[in-house]
Amino acid sequence: MRTTLRLGLLAVVLSTSTGCGATAPAPPAPPAPTAAPSSPLPPRPREARIDGVDPCQLITPAVRARFGLTDNFDRRPTTDGLQTSDCQTSNFDGAVLRPPPRVDVRLRLIRDQAAAVTLQQSPTASRVITVAGFGAVESPPQIGPKDNACTIDVDVANGQMMSVFFGNGGNDLPNLSYQLMCSDAHVVAEAAMRQLLAQVH
């Protein structure tokens, strides 16, 4: 009887010791983080959303004076189906140019398309630049001569861009070149971005 009791107690002790010494299974490893899709444009220094902004207010008096642009703004939107606010002007005032040659500037605030789309549409002709610290895409005209105009699309906010067009509509500018058009477009874009950043604190 005592032997049976001892054996029973031994079994309980061994069972208890085994249970206390058991190691709990390790928790499953967390899933690997998903990498965010890379952008061809540099990170923005901040968001500069363009909702409710008047594009004509971004063509500054200094820019108009530099290129002889009038303040007779044309706000008719381009019919390409995008959600935009448009402003266009030139140095053509009625029947005279002031001064010649002809200069055309168009500024579009596009609220439903990213600047990276321009790079996708024209990957070989376009190049990535910066405007006031924001990534941008510089590209030639898609139709017609390639040396008389330049467009700069600035990545102002998620899914939004500011598009600046600078062109010599009369093809009468001395030493006309795509590089010259882009240099002038950059002047307009830089001034417009500074004005925009002052408005959207």
Q: Mind listing the pLDDT tens digit for each residue in 133-168?
A: 999 999 998 887 888 999 999 999 999 999 999 999
For 127, the domain range is 55-199
The SS3 call for residue 20 is: helix
Contact 153, 183 (CB under 8 A): no
Q: Which residues of the chain, if any, have pLDDT below 70?
A: 1-38, 94-100
Q: What is the rounded distance in angstroms from the CA atom of residue 7 to the CA atom of residue 35? A: 61
Q: What is the rounded distance in angstroms from the CA atom of residue 163 to the CA atom of residue 138? A: 10
What confidence score (pLDDT) does residue 24 get? 53
The answer to the question of residue 23 being in a domain is no
The answer to the question of residue 59 being in a domain is yes
Q: What is the CATH number of the domain that holds 153?
A: 3.40.1000
Total domain count for the chain?
Answer: 1
Contact 176, 148 (CB under 8 A): yes
The answer to the question of residue 5 being in a domain is no
The answer to the question of residue 19 being in a domain is no
What confidence score (pLDDT) does residue 158 get? 95
In this structure, the strands spanning 160-167 and 149-157 are antiparallel
Residue 165: φ, ψ to 5°:
-110, 135
| Residue whose C-alpha is closest to residue 88's, from 72, 102, 100, 101 | 72
pTM here is 0.78
The answer to the question of residue 165 being in a domain is yes
What confidence score (pLDDT) does residue 132 get? 97
The answer to the question of residue 99 being in a domain is yes
